[in-house]
Amino acid sequence: MERSRPELNGLICKARRYIVLMAGYDPGMHLGSSLSVVEIAAALYGTGRVKFNVANGTRDRNYFVLSKGHAVHAIYALAAAMGYLSIDELRETGSLGSRLQNHPEVDTPFVDVPNSGSLGQGISIAVGLALGLRLRGEPGRVYLVTGDGELDEGQSWESFAVAAHYGLNNLVTIVDLNGVQLDGHSEEVLRKGDLAARFRSLGFEVFEVDGHDVGQIIEALEKAERSAKPPVIIAKTVRGRGVPPIEDTAKQRLSRDDALKYAGNIC
Amino acid sequence: MLDLEGLTPREALGRALADLGDLRKDVVVLVADTGETTRARFFAERYPERFFNVGIAEQALVGIAAGLALAGFMPYALTFAAFMARAWEQARNSVDRMNLPVRLVGTHAGFADAYDGSSHQMLEDIAIFRVLPNFTVLVPADSCEVYRAVTASAAVKGPVYVRVGRDFHIPTTCGMYDRFEVGRAYVAVEGGDVAIFTTGITLPFAVEAAQLLKDRGISAAVVHFPTVKPLDYAAVEKYASATGAVLTVEEHMVHGGFGSAVAEHLSQTKPAKMAIMGLKSYGRTAKNPQELYQYYGLTPENIAARAEELVRLR
């Protein structure tokens, strides 16, 4: 389904508001990390590249791997904004009986790889999926979203090297470059070097965009999908985007009152 | 007809995979720069399009195998057992938690890689894969059993770890039974005074020990467990009850391995006099595995002595 940019921006705004509201109920969720990835998720789900209502075993489709699984609340929120989850269920996130766990689990809806809590592992799985789709002769793509802190893991680069070596241009990688990880600013925790150059040197085609501009992300996706090499979109984002006191910090929590206040300011 | 006894364990592994490739189009094989040394090459030569080398990268090896399983394939991922351990957390999080049909094959296990020394001699793999809830753990004794275990592993629903050696083995199981069943123990020698339980390459040592014991008037049963998990509890209980004395023997640390699995079960069901034989520390470089079995006391003479001791204590 084609959505206009204003429609997409409406979804993004709604999803961001839901994320902030969830934080008021669930102190265990990763608020800042979820807020940086909203436009990226909307560029994928909102354009129909990946879908919320995919029956198990469906072939000839695209896959979505959220390797930064701690940001899964962005996906829950977007699902609710698009009508696939109720607000009541969102409120239950992080509860023992809820299927909306704080990292994707086997019973978590809407994620193709239900165990991406351990960083770097979703990247390997996405590479395996892309290899598998190609081997089956399927036209589908794998859309992989990683964090930048996650790129500290050796497994990440092991896997990207395999993607490049096997020329997996059916794997579309998007790096949510929010510049912050658990202990603070990513460059201070551990130098990342020139990310674009690292990917290029392996054999990737690199696209750099403003990760809060859904139009830029979609344009980059369209180019990435035509790339002969494995493409990577490096999306510069702000952790905690939309909640000023936590923006560009490692903070992840809000009181319920603050959550209501900041959610009200979003849209 | 394939002469399995004439193959080394790793050649049996490579042949089993190549033959599985004929039977099942969903079988894919991955290696970490170990296509030649694991003999996965036999599969690669027959099915190059279903063979992937990920380089010296064990974490990616296991993770990519998980992705291929999600895409509907049955991946066999092979590397040295010692380095498969590097991807234990990937085995836990990317494979076991989703109960994916990924088969991890750790080769050069135990003292099989005598030349390379303790860094390459994996004595802990049974323990670390046995602890994962969904993994099946297969520990074949010789090339016949490697071929049969790998073939049988294809029918297992969840993940499997297969422990394979390199070149050393003493052919024992080829004529011992007709069909390999996952989860089943096989009786190599019947006896009533003491039960010797073995897994993996130590089976022939125990069979020889039973002969030594027989000469001393002690009737020892030898029961072989090529599947460590799920363990054949019925066989464990039957021989523990019948003899009241159980000696386990494995080419693995005495903590957390096969002996521990037997002890965990018997202590809660039919406590028996028990001893666990295996290793307590790392190996060393040697000219061949046999030197190491001698050096660390994994010999028929020592097995017989421990069994005799147990009979006296009973």
Contacts of B91 in chain A (CB under 8 A): none
Run of H or E residues at B145: helix B143-153
- Within 8 A of B28 by CB-CB distance, chain A residues are 132, 135
Please write the tens of the pLDDT for every residue from B104-156: 999 999 999 999 999 999 999 999 999 999 999 999 999 999 999 999 999 99
b/e per residue, B212-247, with b = 16+ CB within 10 A?
Answer: bbeeeebebbbbbbbbbbebbeebbebbbeebbbbb
Nearest chain A residue to B87 by CA: give it: A155
Which chain A residues contact residue B60 at CB under 8 A?
124, 127, 155, 158-159, 161-162
CB contact under 8 A, A162 and B54: yes
| CB-CB neighbors (< 8 A) of B93 in chain A | 115, 117-118, 121
- The residues spanned by each domain of chain B are 9-163, 186-313
| List of chain A residues whose C-beta atoms are within 8 Å of the C-beta of residue B54 | 158, 162
| B63 → closest Cβ in A106, A121, A161 | A121
Residues A138, A141, A144: CA angle, nearest 5 degrees: 145
pLDDT of the residue at A107: 79
Residue type, A82: M
Nearest to A132 among B60, B73, B99 (CB): B73
Q: How confident is the model at residue B314 (pLDDT cuts 50, 70, 90)?
A: confident
Mind telling me how many Å the CA of B29 is from chain A's nearest CA?
Answer: 12
Q: Which of B49, B57, B67 sits opposite A126 (nearest CB)?
A: B67
For the stretch A204-246, pLDDT in tens is: 999 999 999 999 999 999 999 999 999 999 999 999 999 999 9
Find the CB nearest A124 among B28, B64, B71: B64
With CB atoms and an 8 Å threshold, state whether B67 touches A125.
yes
Task: Kindly determine whether residue A136 and residue B72, on different chains, have CB atoms separated by under 8 Å.
Answer: yes
Q: Which chain B residues have any C-beta within 8 angstroms of a chain A C-beta? A: 28, 49-50, 52, 54-55, 57, 59-60, 62-73, 75, 89-90, 93-94, 97-99
Q: Are strands B103-107 and B51-53 parallel, antiparallel or unpaired?
A: unpaired
Three-state secondary structure string covering chain B: CCCCCCCCHHHHHHHHHHHHHHHCCCEEEEECCCCCCCCCHHHHHHCHHHEEECCCCHHHHHHHHHHHHHCCCEEEEEEEHHHHHHHHHHHHHHHHCCCCCCEEEEECECCCCCCCCHHHCECCHHHHHHCCCCCEEECCCCHHHHHHHHHHHCCCCCCEEEECCCCCCCCCCCCCCCCCCCCCCEEEECCCCEEEEECHHHHHHHHHHHHHHHHCCCCEEEEECCEEECCCHHHHHHHHHHHCEEEEEEEEECCCCHHHHHHHHHHHCCCCEEEEEEECCCCCCCCCHHHHHHHCCCCHHHHHHHHHHHHHHC
Best residue in B25, B56, B59 for a mutation probing chain A (most A CBs within 10 Å) = B59
Where do the structural domains in chain A lie, given as residue ranges?
Answer: 5-264
Report d(CA B30, CA B58) in Å as an integer.
10
Confidence of residue B1 (pLDDT cuts 50, 70, 90): low
The CATH T-level fold of domain A5-264 is Rossmann fold (3.40.50)
Q: For an interface test with B, which of A59, A124, A135, A159 has the most B Cβ atoms less than 10 Å from its Cβ? A: A124
Residues of chain A with pLDDT under 50: none
| Contact between chains at A154 and B59 (C-beta distance less than 8 A) | yes
Q: Is the per-residue pLDDT at B220 higher than 70?
A: yes
From the CA of A239, how many Å to the nearest CA of chain B?
A: 26
A115 contact residues in B (CB cutoff 8 A): 93-94, 97-98
Provide residues of A within 8 Å CB-CB of chain B. 106, 112-115, 117-118, 120-121, 123-133, 135-136, 154-155, 158-159, 161-162, 165-166
pTM of the predicted model over 0.90? yes
**B55–A131 C-beta distance less than 8 A:** no
Q: What CATH number is given for B9-163 in this structure?
A: 3.40.50.970
- pLDDT value of residue A85: 94
Q: Is A83 left (phi over 0), alpha (psi -120 to 50) or beta?
A: left
Which of B5, B11, B45, B58 is catalytic? The answer is B58
Per-residue pLDDT reduced to its tens digit, B297-309: 999 999 999 999 9
The yes-or-no answer to whether B9-163 and B186-313 have a common fold is: yes
| Fold designation for B186-313 | Rossmann fold (3.40.50)
Candidate from B57, B64, B99 with C-beta closest to A131: B64
B208: annotated active-site residue: no
For residues B30-40, give the mean pLDDT.
98
A151 to chain B nearest CA, in Å?
14
How far is B48 from B37, CA to CA, in rounded Å? 17
CB contact under 8 A, B71 and A118: no
pLDDT at A165: 98
Which residues fall within 8 angstroms of residue A20, CB to CB, at 6 or more apart? A31, A35, A242, A243, A254, A259, A262, A263, A266
Cis peptide before B230 (omega within 30 of 0): yes
CA distance B45 to chain A (A): 17
The nearest CA of chain B is from the CA of A224 a distance in Å of: 22
Looking only at the bridges linking them, the beta strands covering B220-224 and B186-189 are antiparallel
- Listing DSSP states for B61-76 in one string gives HHHHHHHHHHTT-EEE
The per-residue pLDDT for A172 is: 98
- B49 contact residues in A (CB cutoff 8 A): 135
How confident is the model at residue B256, as a pLDDT? Answer: 98
Q: Which of A56, A105, A125, A152 to mutate to test the interface with B (most CBs of B within 10 A)?
A: A125
Q: Write phi, then psi, for B220 (nearest 5 degrees).
A: -110, 130
Q: Contact at 8 Å (CB) between A8 and A49?
A: no
Would the CB atoms of A113 and B70 count as touching at under 8 Å?
A: yes
Binary contact (A127, B70; C-beta < 8 A) = no
Give me the residue from A117, A121, A132 closest to B68, CB to CB: A132
Cα–Cα distance, B63 to B89 (Å, whole number): 10
**Closest Cβ–Cβ partner in A112, A114, A128 for B63:** A128
Is the C-alpha dihedral spanning B18, B20, B24, B28 positive or negative? negative
- Say what the pLDDT of residue A267 is: 82
Let me know: does B284 contact B195? Beta carbons within 8 Å.
Answer: no
Mean pLDDT score of chain B, rounded to an integer?
A: 97
Token code pair at residue B130:
């046995």
Please judge whether A121 and B54 are an interchain contact, meaning their C-beta atoms are less than 8 angstroms apart: no
